[in-house]
Amino acid sequence: MRKVIEVNNLTKEYKLGTIGRGTLYRDLQSLWARIRNKEDPNSIIGKSDISSFDKKSFLALKSINLDIFEGEIIGIIGANGAGKSTILKILSKITGPTEGIIKIKGRIASLLEVGTGFHTELTGRENIYLNATMNGLSIKEINKKVDDIIDFAGLEQFIDTPVKRYSSGMFVRLGFAVAAFLEPDILIVDEVLAVGDANFQKKALNKIESVSKNKKRTVLFVSHNMDAVEKLCTSVIILDKGRVIDKGPTKNMIEKYLNEKNDIRKKFKKITWEKSELNPGGNIVRLNSIETKNSNNIIIEDFLCNEEVIIETNFTVLKKGFQISCLLEFYCNDKLIFQTFDDYINGEWGKQKNYDLGDYKSTCIIPKNIFKIGIIDINIIIFIPPGSYHDSYQVSYPTKSIGAISFNIKDIETFDKSSGSYPFNLNKDAIINPKVDHKIKKI
């Protein structure tokens, strides 16, 4: 395979605080003081040395070395501030490196933001030309592609309307469509697919994929959306605090990244809140605590795979006369694996007894031999029936799927588990691993 990008010892330093002295007045003041051999009025006290002024700095990238080959779709993942966007900015020549050298083969186009430079007064068509010429295409080249672009964006009807009349979705579609048809040798994409509807996201991902596969284009893709990274990328680079932690096959890297991330952010065993208005919830129901217990009623975080998992949720009802139903969502690697419903489902939705004021406990027992080995996260949702999904929920904790509380499912040595004596790993795509009645008999 041909190497298309070679990054050597790339370092990027940002100065913190004010840059230089910021104003001509102060610079002249310092200069004047030095001419008269007086102390610089702008220097830090005790340090007459000018250069000490600029010492506060921050390394966004620290000695990065990377080789990227033709046809690769590289996902770059990492927490905020890991340096993902900085790498892309340097590669797209928006800012220069502090140290190091980057060598590139072929034409680069970057999509750091959808619809950069779009002018609201111009029509969609005019903006296609403006945006594409900004990326180095000539008008002649665009003439050949403009119909495909309009078609891909699905904007035939509105293409001669000023983009100020566009919905945000149309805006995004147009912006992405232009970038998709730039046909560079290397395409750089920064978290732009977070916008747009699911359908278009899918279309965009497919487009990136097909461009790379059919035409041997290289793609660098930054995203927090692990599903998109997993679907699209052939390999993944993990960045953390300006360093490359690892590079390798997508699946392994995503798992590694999520596990590392989890260790920091996840809460185990039990979380409690002081009884106050800050507890998760609304004006009717508020959470007090969540805990995970084994069948001996002991609060633990590590469960064996052949153990029951009991999740207890304590909440307070603050207003009389409402019905309550509690739902749990179980996540593994940020993917929803299943949901459970409380005994409210035994009756009819919206027609059950009202709750009195006071504290309540919901207990959910997950039978043994259900989960795969790994970390499971739980979200808690409490509904106030009747009403539709959206207007009846009162508690949704946490609001994003990192898990309100988590527990760990561990493997055991004996055969008393779902996979029994199977010596090999189960397919990684399986999300649960229940033990069911499954026998083979001679008939």
Partner 1 sequence: MKNNKDNWDTIIDTKRSLFDISFFFNLYKYRDLIYMFVKRDFVTFYKQTILGPLWYIVQPLVNTLVFTVIFGNLAKLPTDGLPPFIFYMAGNVIWAYFAACLNLTSNIFVANAGLFGKVHFPRLTVPIANVIISLLQFAIQFIIFTLFLMYFIYSGSDITLSFNVLYLPLILFYVAFASLGFGMLISAITAKYRDLTFAMSFLIQLWMYVTPIVYPLSLVPDNYRIFVALNPMTSAVEIFKYIFLGESSITSNDIIIGLLVTILVFIFGFFAFNRVEKNFMDTV
Query: Among the candidate windows 92-100, 355-363, 379-387, 406-414, which touches partner 1 by CB under 8 A?
Result: 92-100
Q: Decide whether 90 or 153 has the Cβ nearer to partner 1.
A: 90
Length of the chain: 443
Q: Which residues pair with 190 in a beta bridge?
A: 222
Which listed residue (30, 92, 279, 323) binds partner 1 by CB under 8 A? Answer: 92
Q: Are 308 and 403 in contact (CB under 8 A)?
A: no
CB contact burial 139-152 (16+ within 10 A = b; e otherwise): eeebeebbeebbeb
Query: Among the candidate windows 110-118, 283-291, 346-354, 421-429, which touches partner 1 by CB under 8 A?
Result: 110-118
Using CB under 8 A as the criterion, what x/- string covers residues 259-278 for binding partner 1? --------------------
Instruction: Say whether residue 122 binds partner 1 (CB under 8 A).
Output: yes
**Residues contacting 394, CB < 8 A, separation 6+:** 281, 282, 284, 285, 382, 383, 384
Distance, in Å, from the CA atom of 151 to the CA atom of 125, rounded to the nearest integer, reads 12
Q: Are 162 and 120 in contact (CB under 8 A)?
A: yes
Contacts of partner 1 in 131-190 (CB under 8 A): 133-139
Which listed residue (75, 78, 97, 124) binds partner 1 by CB under 8 A? Answer: 97
Minimum Å gap between C-beta 116 and partner 1 is 4
Q: Decide whether 180 or 376 has the Cβ nearer to partner 1.
A: 180
Closest CA to 109 of 183, 172, 47, 197: 183
Query: Among the candidate windows 109-117, 335-343, 387-395, 399-407, which touches partner 1 by CB under 8 A?
Result: 109-117
Minimum Å gap between C-beta 325 and partner 1 is 47
Instruction: Say whether residue 99 binds partner 1 (CB under 8 A).
Output: yes
Closest CA to 63 of 96, 95, 101: 101
Which listed residue (96, 358, 420, 423) binds partner 1 by CB under 8 A? Answer: 96
Q: Decide whether 85 or 289 has the Cβ nearer to partner 1.
A: 85
CB contact burial 263-300 (16+ within 10 A = b; e otherwise): eeebebeeeeeeeeeebbbeebbbbbebbbbbeeeeeb
Contacts of partner 1 in 24-83 (CB under 8 A): 24-25, 27
Minimum Å gap between C-beta 8 and partner 1 is 9
Torsion of CA 211, 217, 220, 221, to 10 degrees: 10
**Interface contacts to partner 1, rule CB under 8 A:** 6, 14-15, 19-20, 22-25, 27, 89-108, 110, 112-113, 116-117, 119, 121-122, 126, 129-130, 133-139
